[in-house]
Amino acid sequence: MTDPVSSPVPADFSQVSGVSDRGEGIFDADVSGEWTIGGKPNGGYLLALMARAAGSVTGCSDIVAASAHFLRSPDPGPAVIETELLRRGRSTSQVRARLSAGGKACVEALVSTSPLGPPAAPLWEPNEPRVEPVPFDECIRVEAVTPDGYRFPIFDHVDLRLDPDSHGMIRGTPAGRGELRGWLAMFGADGFDPVSLLYAVDAFPPTPFDTPHPGMVSTIELTAYVRAMPVSGPVQVVSRARLIDSQWVDEACEVWDRDGRLVARATQLAKVWFS
């Protein structure tokens, strides 16, 4: 057991995901020790760092697609992002990026950028029934310090709230659907943008926690699409396990803004370790 630590002042996401341009497509980054679970940086946060660099290379900060393979988890601290501009198009550009730390490659990614227009209703989407979300204020915040004293620093920096039906997995009484629903809000001055949405699609606890087979996960591959610029305010998140076997879980995540517009979706394959 660890002693609870006083909560730090939350930093703006644009600050903790910022990069510094060295020139020639190379960027310096500082992987924050506060955006971690069990000492390991969140995968969506690492992808956001790489997306900042990619946007700088293309001159467009609107990320529309990003796919990353996670080779190893970097320790918090200095990292280097090397980029290669694969194509600069009139509407869409593509960049290859590699994040390294301690001289070792940690994450490889392909990122596409393209200007996103203002929030608008889609031209077409399937007529599928959607569960009405529980209001933000009626959902239960995930605390950074557990009852037995363990601290998960990342939850000091975001307001992640699970709806009451999903929150049972925190108490060891999962609903058994392999599905987590709730809301995510950023502290500080930043709202959600195409880069921070790459974190949002990987922000929720592991979906196996809501099954009879709870286990910790380590992301191997994550693919995210940003479909629209969200309106200001928290975003609604639904994360689902699609299949769990003895070694792997594949998950799907969808993110909506307060107006009910789908703004991002993602799939990921993760290694799972059962307790």
Digits of tens for pLDDT over the chain (275 positions)?
Answer: 344 445 567 778 999 999 999 999 999 999 999 999 989 999 999 999 999 999 999 999 999 999 999 999 999 999 999 999 999 999 999 999 999 999 999 999 999 999 998 778 889 988 877 888 999 999 999 999 877 778 889 999 999 999 999 998 888 888 999 999 999 999 877 889 999 999 999 999 999 999 999 888 999 999 999 999 999 999 999 999 999 999 999 999 999 999 999 999 999 999 998 87
Compute CA distances 156 → 74, 85, 113, 124, 218, whole Å.
21, 36, 30, 38, 21
Q: Rounded CA gap, 102 and 30, in Å?
A: 12
Do 207 and 239 touch, CB atoms closer than 8 A? Answer: yes
Kind and range of the H or E run holding 158: strand 158-162
State pTM to two decimals: 0.94
Do 196 and 202 touch, CB atoms closer than 8 A? Answer: no
pLDDT at 266: 98
pLDDT at 3: 40
Q: Rounded CA gap, 72 and 67, in Å?
A: 16
Q: Rounded CA gap, 176 and 132, in Å?
A: 20
Q: Rounded CA gap, 36 and 152, in Å?
A: 7
pLDDT at 160: 97
Domains and CATH numbers, the chain: 13-115+134-274 (2.40.160.210)
Kind and range of the H or E run holding 110: strand 104-113
Q: Rounded CA gap, 104 and 19, in Å?
A: 19
- Provide the CA 181 distance to its chain's centre, in angstroms: 15
